[in-house]
Each structure stands twice: as structure tokens, then as C-alpha cells.
Amino acid sequence: MYHIIKRDEPSPRQKLIIRILFVLAALAVSSIFVVFADANPLQLYIGIIDGCFGSLYRFAATIEKMVPLMILSFGVMVAFKMRFWNIGAEGQFLMGAAGAAAVVRFFPNLPLPAMLLFTALAAFAAGAIWLLIPAFFKAQFGTNETLFTLMLNYIALAFVTALQYDFWKDPAANGMPKIANFPENAQLPASHGFNLSILFAILIIVAMYYFMNRSKIGFEITVLGESENTARYIGINVKKTILTAAVISGGLCGLVGMIQATGVSGTLTTEITGGLGFTAIIVAWLSGLKVPYIVINSFAFGVLLQGASYIQTAFQIPGSVAEMIQGTILFFILASEFLIQYRVVSDRHKEEVA
């Protein structure tokens, strides 16, 4: 029989080497799919790099894919730091987008700066409320937040579907179930392909770094996550801290809804999230819930996403192949995390040691 044993913490250098080896292995395995799709793997991989960094516009597209993922990961991080398993980033994202869309719909003539401010606030509030619901029940009655936040995703999706297919359906769209595109004054300004969200992102990186490392609330959230008993012992108000963290976590995820709706898709749709709310969980976790690593890993994911979409058009390979490459790399990275923390030992070996 084989046993799995926790290993001693490897040095950062060893970790880096293990990860690079696994990414290379992932590329090797992906090559098999690529060959079956009648493409040259090496050319394709170079194509990915080219698609992400080949020109200023391509780089802007990479950043555009990174920013929402990064902010979502920050949102997830705040909750996870408290051991509050917010699996509902997807739903908070959708509700945030709906909140922004509501501002656009009901106050269509606001000047651009006011429009951006109010859509952002509405999106933040909508996301925050969407997480406050499970957080309230957790604080008050000790309900399990994992299932609760997960299920709220589907409610959010049903809600946005109802808006798109019925209540807010654009009558001018010839029966197409879509919400009217946002007017000019509700589009994030852009230049050379970079939209204003990059500014948001930089501000949020700095704010989150300080929040997690220097603020009292961040400290309290960390303590509460490590041990509720200690938190109570030093006099932290547990309920208040849970609710505060929920506002920040849900609010950040909601804010992404505004960025995507006003900056990328130009309106509210049910497909606006692209599953990023779930990917963010992986990013936050892989980054050990640390701000700098989230920035790096979100960028890496941005490269994967942009590279995949570029090679589809450039090499005329099916989208599913690009997705398989993404999936394989992700799978291998997760496997490497496992091997960084544990090692497999056979019984025979163990007895020899004993």
C-alpha cells in the first residue's frame, strides 16, 4: 500500500522549479491534443506568447482578461482569509453587473464621470448585499455558507435571465433576447485598447495590500479565520467582522460586474461572467490568499485566456482544443501543489525507516 505524507516546507527555489517542470510537462501532454488538431505544437505555443505580447493591443487584451479575474480573486481572498467559503463570486459578479445596468437604465443621461461613479457604487452594493445574505445567516444562526453562496449563484443567474429575456429586453433588437447596449456616456473610456479598469486595478491592488497587512479590520479577519476562539478571547466582535468582510468580499466581486458591463461587453448579459467567479477561487487559493501572488497568478491566467482566444483565430483550431490546453495546464499546476505539500511513500519503505 502507498501512503501520502505531508512533507517539510520546500524552499521557494524548489517550489519554483517544481512548478516550472509541471508547466513544461503540461505543455508536453497538451501537444498530443494539438497534433490531433493538425497543428504544430511548438508554433502554437509561440503563437500563444505572440497573441499576448505581440502588440500593444494584444497586451491590452491580456490585461483586460487579467483585471476582472484579479479583483474577483481579491474578493474571494478576503472571505477565504476568514475561512468563510464564498463560492458565490459568480453570483455577486452578476448582481453587480445588474446593479450597474440598473443605474444606466434608470438614469441614462448622467454625465460620464457621475455615471461611472454611480454604476460602480451600485455594483459594489449589489454584490455586497448578495454576500451579506448568507453572511447574516452565518453570523446569526451558524448556517453553512458554502452551499448558501453556491445556490445564490443560480438565483442571480435566473434573475439576470429574467431581465434579459423579459423585463429589460430591448424592443429594438428584433426579438433577440438582449438588453440594449449602454450609451456612450456609460462606457469605460479606453485608449490604445486599455480601458480605465486598469486604473481601478492599480488602486485596488494598493488598497488590498494595505487592507490585508496594515488595517485593523484586515487583522481581525485574519485572526477570526485562524481561530474563532482567539477572536472571541481578545474581544473581537465576531458577527460584525463576518458582516464587514462580506461587504468587502461581495462588493469587490460586484464591482467586477460594473467593469465588465461598462468596459467589455457594453451591456448586461447572462454570459458576462464567463465562469471567472469560479476561476477566481482557484487563483486565490493557488496564491495562498496573498495579494502579490494573486497579481502574478491573475496575470498568468490572463495570458492563458488571451492566448487561447488568439490561437483559435490565428491557427484556425477549434476552441475546444484551446480549452483543453488551458485545462491541462491548470490540472498540472494543481497536481504540482499537491506534490509540493505531500509526498507518496510506499509501506515497505516506511517499515524500513521504522
Could you list the residues that contact other proteins (CB under 8 A)?
210, 214-217, 219, 223, 226-227, 229-230, 232-237
Closest distance to other proteins from the beta carbon of 179 (Å) = 39
Residue where the block lists cell 482557484: 282
Closest distance to other proteins from the beta carbon of 235 (Å) = 4
Indicate the residue among 181 and 237 with the shorter CB distance to other proteins. Answer: 237
How far apart (Å, rounded) are the C-alpha atoms in residues 215 and 281? 23
Indicate the residue among 192 and 216 with the shorter CB distance to other proteins. Answer: 216
Closest distance to other proteins from the beta carbon of 239 (Å) = 11
Indicate the residue among 1 and 234 with the shorter CB distance to other proteins. Answer: 234
The C-alpha angle 100, 148, 277, rounded to 5 degrees, equals 45
Q: What is the DSSP letter of 184?
A: G
Indicate the residue among 43 and 140 with the shorter CB distance to other proteins. Answer: 140
Closest distance to other proteins from the beta carbon of 290 (Å) = 13
How many CB atoms lie under 10 A from the CB of residue 105?
A: 17
Indicate the residue among 6 and 192 with the shorter CB distance to other proteins. Answer: 6
In one letter, which amino acid is 242? I
Indicate the residue among 236 and 286 with the shorter CB distance to other proteins. Answer: 236
Closest distance to other proteins from the beta carbon of 354 (Å) = 11
Indicate the residue among 170 and 228 with the shorter CB distance to other proteins. Answer: 228
Indicate the residue among 142 and 235 with the shorter CB distance to other proteins. Answer: 235
Closest distance to other proteins from the beta carbon of 186 (Å) = 33
Instruction: Give the number of residues written for the chain.
Output: 354
Closest Cα partner for 98 from 52, 46, 164? 164
- Which helix (H) or strand (E) is 14 found in, with range? helix 12-36
How far apart (Å, rounded) are the C-alpha atoms in residues 24 and 12? 18
Indicate the residue among 239 and 349 with the shorter CB distance to other proteins. Answer: 239
Are 345 and 5 a contacting pair, CB within 8 Å? yes
Closest distance to other proteins from the beta carbon of 77 (Å) = 16
**In sequence order, what are the residues at sequence separation of 6 or more whose Cβ sits closer than 8 angstroms to the Cβ of residue 43?**
315
Closest distance to other proteins from the beta carbon of 45 (Å) = 38
Closest distance to other proteins from the beta carbon of 52 (Å) = 35
**In sequence order, what are the residues at sequence separation of 6 or more whose Cβ sits closer than 8 angstroms to the Cβ of residue 130?**
88, 91, 92, 95, 152, 156, 250, 254
Question: Would strands 2-6 and 190-191 be described as parallel, antiparallel, or unpaired?
Answer: unpaired
Alpha-carbon distances of 35 from 28, 279, 306, 329, rounded to whole Å: 11, 27, 21, 17
**In sequence order, what are the residues at sequence separation of 6 or more whose Cβ sits closer than 8 angstroms to the Cβ of residue 82?**
221, 222, 224, 225, 241, 242, 245
- Cα atoms in the 13 Å half-sphere on the side-chain side of 139: 18
